[in-house]
């Protein structure tokens, strides 16, 4: 039987990547439906990256995959450093180069570790 913590880490990584890999219109609908900001996919990814480091130590992710995940993190860091708030609005999913780069990398990672990148977007519960 698989360790439940390890399974949860894996699921949260896949879900975070699924949102990043989704078509821009689907990302826009996802943030609207859940009533969250356009930053949420990046924030979820940041949490998932920490979990990915544990998965890598466990031997479930290889170094090439980790390098790509760190590249997504650097894309978001560049977007934040630019202090351009326009990149953090839902419309940016379809026009911002940073979101396009993160989307492409997330798709490649999902294909490598999951066999496909088109996955259902997760439902989330926001506690306010």
Would 3 be classed as within a structural domain?
A: no
In a domain? residue 1: no
Instruction: State the pLDDT at residue 2.
Output: 53
Burial tier of 66 (Cβ tally within 10 Å: 0-12, 13-18, 19+): middle
Q: Which long-range contacts (CB under 8 A, 24 or more apart) does 72-76 make?
A: 72/20, 72/45, 72/102, 72/105, 72/106, 72/109, 73/45, 73/46, 73/49, 75/101, 75/102, 75/105, 76/42, 76/45, 76/46, 76/102
| Enclosing H/E stretch for 123 | none
Q: Given a cut of 70, is residue 4 above it in pLDDT?
A: no
Residue 33 covered by a domain: yes
Residue 42 falls within a domain, yes or no? yes
Residue 23 lies inside a defined structural domain of this protein: yes
Tell me the whole-structure pTM to 2 decimals: 0.92
Tell me how many domains the chain contains. 1
106 falls within a domain: yes
Question: Residue 23's domain spans which residues?
Answer: 8-112
Q: Do the domain assignments include residue 86?
A: yes
Q: Considering the domain boundaries, does residue 58 fall inside one?
A: yes
Q: What is the pLDDT of residues 31-40, one digit of tens each?
A: 999 999 999 9
Q: Which tokens go with 117?
A: 């990148």
> What are the tens digits of pLDDT across the range 35-91?
999 999 999 999 999 999 999 999 999 999 999 999 999 999 999 998 878 999 999
């Amino acid at each position: 039987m698989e360790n439940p913590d390890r399974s949860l880490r894996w699921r949260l990584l896949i879900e975070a990547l699924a949102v990043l890999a989704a078509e821009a219109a689907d990302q826009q609908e996802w943030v609207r439906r859940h009533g969250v900001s356009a930053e949420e996919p990046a924030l979820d990814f940041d949490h998932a990256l920490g979990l990915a480091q544990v998965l890598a130590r466990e031997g479930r992710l290889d170094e090439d995959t980790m390098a790509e995940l760190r590249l997504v993190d650097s894309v978001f860091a560049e977007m934040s450093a630019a202090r351009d708030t326009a990149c953090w609005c839902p419309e940016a999913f379809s026009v911002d180069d940073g979101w396009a780069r993160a989307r492409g990398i997330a798709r490649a990672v999902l294909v490598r570790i999951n066999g496909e990148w088109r996955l259902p977007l997760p439902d989330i519960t926001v506690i306010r």
